[in-house]
Structure 1
């Protein structure tokens, strides 16, 4: 696989994003190329060799301890020593203070190489962001530099046996003993909750500190692995075998309160947002890897042609080229949307309207990045045929690894409700209106794209906004899919390949009509619950 090709594609996407010019600061095109070129080398030389090892060797649970592949240690050290774990982190803690746009640009290359291995880095850098924002000065100084330097890793601990997406039912409790806090309970689905890659592991954990029901009684804590923390098991999973998913027990474990008591969930969203952006990178990376595998196979696999002549590479067959095109166009459109999301987040630090745009786009890139990875893996298997179904090729592993992308950090249904209820409808739809106006400006010279955007606006204003809350919840998933079609139509204006843009736009309106029809059907089906 040529990682430089993916780096070049990402650089082109960044340069095609108009807002990049507002924030590029001292970054010239050569600087951007140098950063992505180095990231491509690390991805190809250091991380990619881990991918098959991660699947074949995996993580091993032994008497309360977890072993990961031995090769992980030097690779994680290389990431840290190269500054890659601290790209977007604050310079005062040893980070580089670079824009999120550069983080996603580099990280998607690492995710292309090995998403299972990168799970450790994803949780740790998100925790560094969280602690930088909410922890007290001593805790920040103790943990954030170590996370950036690769001397520690960190996890997010939310789910419990009786509380998954329903966070308000968390039972883990924290009690104050003298001037200290102690946490007791059980947490599950903890990626890299235990491992032997580094000696220090911190758990960013929600626990109940009052009898107030729901999420208002939850506070955020940092619990260091050690006394009072036990690894109960690791899960046997469909994929991501190289990422140990742990169940952890906490028995009066010493804990540090992070932020304000009773505000745990809102504070934790600093970490969750960063991890959702990471999932988007995972999806893009997996899709790129699978398309590359399918393309390379199609170039060398020989079948068909004149029976009197040698067989021809299957890429010469129109149906194979069609399948490859149907993989590549969504990848190119998604890359542009991911960059737009990250740059909007960067600009949002000073511009509330850009912060709203990033928040509106985040559930889309999280969910549709997840689906892009899984769908592209499935399509790649079809191009490889029977070979793709075997472990001789990487695409079957990618299919297994990527299925979870649409589950963790918020399922499809949760992303849909976030998109519709908390983003599009907030402040009388101000963020959506701003984004649609921007999309219309960019697509002024592309009538098919403009038609998709206008039709989505009309649908949302006339059918979604006036609907009851129950109907809005019922139709949220198809409304989100309609919104994603609209965003892709907008991104067509930035595509250098007009053939790919035309190809997408040919099917965009019928696809939009189908999602609108589904939305109205779901709204009508749920009227019975309102009567």
Structure 2
């Protein structure tokens, strides 16, 4: 049997949600390039992306396991189809959607890049692992160097997709704990540095899709306590630069993306920004990549949800009559399908809002408003990273359940979605790390400023939504109130950090519940009689009750402290 394809995405929901986005009108005022992008233009971009994804990326994804990149004689080789699809993708200008026009980009807002990434990653998430660090590297170089030789050499090529980029942080024994990084940088005296060390888990660390690759790398220097940030090309003037691919990891999924162990053997590197401040500078790149994980997870979740719905409409089973019924007639299947679709739509609404807030944090001219947008964007970042990553896996799992035995076979794409998505709650900061970030940095260190902005915005919006759907708005308001009271309790635990940390992941999930409740209430209040609007309202109302039950559980878990962990020593 030929493997079933992921259904092409219906862009109607994306267009409705984009049109209804709060803050979009302000973005148009602030972004000349976007001001010229009418709703018709946005629809055309999404439809072109959907056509490319369903045609080129779907075919590439089908050979993900059988034609994965291979390491031969120190070089990573991809398939001919992979190279052809990348060429067409780059020539289509897809990398540059949200990059500034002065750098060769199209000047569209981040939310458009996020929406397009969802469409692409729906059909081949592994393919999307390459352009994200390239876009992020453009912003990194633009932010931290005024060196014309570096800017003129790398920025145009990265924007055009002719050269690639990676983010090189992790090492053996230094994953989330960057303080243990051992890679060393020694100044040469000519403005360059010699980089020596080993890096691990580097996506697309080596490949033949682009002419060159620049590694954005953290290393230690003798002159500073903190880490420093370097650009390390794989080749300089056509000659190898001491950058070696040691091996490609053998992974559960995302086989089309070569995850490499890298060696740097006295490689020439160029310092970006200030010596000793590399980790904080790298957050330009890390922030973009965490946002991208949310969009990637959303794309994979929508693929799984729509595949399950398509299958369920055709699968006949059960019923008392002579003819079996489609399984969509059974209540439990209906529950699973509605839950998948509702969570996808609410997540889409939230991730779009987060992208708009990130753009307004950069472009808003009013200082007070810009601070609020920045605080809200930072509050939402660990939420959408975790939400997208976990939703992809749980939706793929539910899709397999709907398909039954068929879903467990390679005849259907949902088993691959399950495998590919499992890493999303791990890379770019595990769920546990995101929870600790929300607790320590966003609540304790920042005094809950981002939470304050979120509560103000959510409560104001919910009050407006109540005129359209009082029941949904009231439930969303209760979830937001649970988040506020739980945060107040956790804020009093600064002198008992272990108690707070024991509930950090539950607190993160409560914050997700509240943010999704805010989004679901917005969906329930969408106006319009067309079927797509009716569908969104129905899904928003369906999700609210589930979220309220989840939130009550997460609130209780977040504040119960660490006493229940006192018996952990019995395990070791």
TM-score relative to the length of structure 1: 0.95
SS in 2 for 1:115: coil
Per-residue CA deviations over 1:171-200 (Å, capped at 9, x if unaligned) read: 000001121211001011111001111221
Are 1:211 and 1:217, in contact at CA under 8 Å, matched by a contact in 2?
no
The CA deviation at 1:328 is: 0.8
Say whether 1:170 aligns with 2:181: yes
Per-residue CA deviations over 1:265-302 (Å, capped at 9, x if unaligned) read: 01111011111111111100100111111111111112
The CA deviation at 1:311 is: 2.4
The CA deviation at 1:466 is: 4.6
SS in 2 for 1:521: coil
Which position in structure 1 is the counterpart of 2:197?
A: 185
Q: Distance in 2 between the 1:405 and 1:321 partners?
A: 27
Match of 1:52 among 59, 62, 82: 62
Identify the range of structure 1 (396-405 vs 82-91) with the bigger mean alpha-carbon deviation.
82-91
Which position in structure 1 is the counterpart of 2:380?
A: 361
Are 1:425 and 1:465, in contact at CA under 8 Å, matched by a contact in 2?
no
Per-residue CA deviations over 1:324-345 (Å, capped at 9, x if unaligned) read: 0111111011001100100001
Q: Distance in 2 between the 1:442 and 1:242 partners?
A: 42
Are 1:43 and 1:113, in contact at CA under 8 Å, matched by a contact in 2?
yes
The CA deviation at 1:352 is: 1.4
Q: Distance in 2 between the 1:527 and 1:138 partners?
A: 57
Q: Distance in 2 between the 1:405 and 1:118 partners?
A: 13
Count matched residues: 524
The CA deviation at 1:526 is: 6.5
Q: Distance in 2 between the 1:272 and 1:4 partners?
A: 29
Are 1:471 and 1:527, in contact at CA under 8 Å, matched by a contact in 2?
no
Per-residue CA deviations over 1:412-458 (Å, capped at 9, x if unaligned) read: 11111122221233442222112101101111112121122122212
Are 2:305 and 2:399, in contact at CA under 8 Å, matched by a contact in 1?
yes
Q: Distance in 2 between the 1:356 and 1:81 partners?
A: 36
Q: Distance in 2 between the 1:46 and 1:424 partners?
A: 44
Which position in structure 2 is the counterpart of 1:30?
A: 40
Per-residue CA deviations over 1:325-373 (Å, capped at 9, x if unaligned) read: 1111110110011001000011111211101111110100001100000
Which position in structure 2 is the counterpart of 1:146?
A: 157
Say whether 1:456 aligns with 2:483: yes
Which position in structure 2 is the counterpart of 1:41?
A: 51
Which position in structure 2 is the counterpart of 1:331?
A: 344
Unaligned 5+ runs, structure 1: none
Pair 1:419–1:29, CA change in 2 (3 A): same
Which position in structure 1 is the counterpart of 2:274?
A: 260
Pair 1:263–1:338, CA change in 2 (3 A): same
Q: Please show how residues 278-427 of structure 1 align to structure 2 within 5 Å.
A: 278-307=292-321, 309-349=322-362, 350=364, 351-427=370-446
Which position in structure 1 is the counterpart of 2:522?
A: 494
Which position in structure 1 is the counterpart of 2:551?
A: 512
Pair 1:145–1:17, CA change in 2 (3 A): same
SS in 2 for 1:48: helix
SS in 2 for 1:110: helix
Which position in structure 2 is the counterpart of 1:251?
A: 265
Which position in structure 1 is the counterpart of 2:133?
A: 123
Are 2:218 and 2:227, in contact at CA under 8 Å, matched by a contact in 1?
yes
The CA deviation at 1:395 is: 0.5
Match of 1:77 among 74, 87, 95: 87
Unaligned 5+ runs, structure 2: 1-5, 30-34, 235-239, 365-369, 467-472, 527-535
Match of 1:196 among 180, 199, 208: 208
TM-score relative to the length of structure 2: 0.88
Which position in structure 1 is the counterpart of 2:8?
A: 3
Q: Distance in 1 between the 2:257 and 2:383 partners?
A: 25
Q: Distance in 1 between the 2:477 and 2:566 partners?
A: 33
Identify the range of structure 1 (290-299 vs 31-40) with the bigger mean alpha-carbon deviation.
31-40
Are 1:485 and 1:512, in contact at CA under 8 Å, matched by a contact in 2?
yes
SS in 1 for 2:560: helix
Are 2:98 and 2:113, in contact at CA under 8 Å, matched by a contact in 1?
yes
Which position in structure 2 is the counterpart of 1:102?
A: 112
Q: Distance in 1 between the 2:445 and 2:490 partners?
A: 16
Are 1:54 and 1:117, in contact at CA under 8 Å, matched by a contact in 2?
no
Q: Distance in 2 between the 1:52 and 1:464 partners?
A: 49
Are 2:228 and 2:278, in contact at CA under 8 Å, matched by a contact in 1?
yes
Q: Distance in 2 between the 1:382 and 1:526 partners?
A: 33
Q: Distance in 1 between the 2:144 and 2:134 partners?
A: 15
Identify the range of structure 1 (359-368 vs 461-470) with the bigger mean alpha-carbon deviation.
461-470
Q: Distance in 2 between the 1:454 and 1:198 partners?
A: 50
Say whether 1:481 aligns with 2:501: no
SS in 2 for 1:348: helix
Which position in structure 2 is the counterpart of 1:137?
A: 148
Are 2:142 and 2:151, in contact at CA under 8 Å, matched by a contact in 1?
yes
Are 1:492 and 1:501, in contact at CA under 8 Å, matched by a contact in 2?
yes
Q: Distance in 1 between the 2:329 and 2:565 partners?
A: 49
Q: CA RMSD in A?
A: 1.8
The CA deviation at 1:256 is: 0.9
Are 1:53 and 1:69, in contact at CA under 8 Å, matched by a contact in 2?
no
The CA deviation at 1:520 is: 2.2
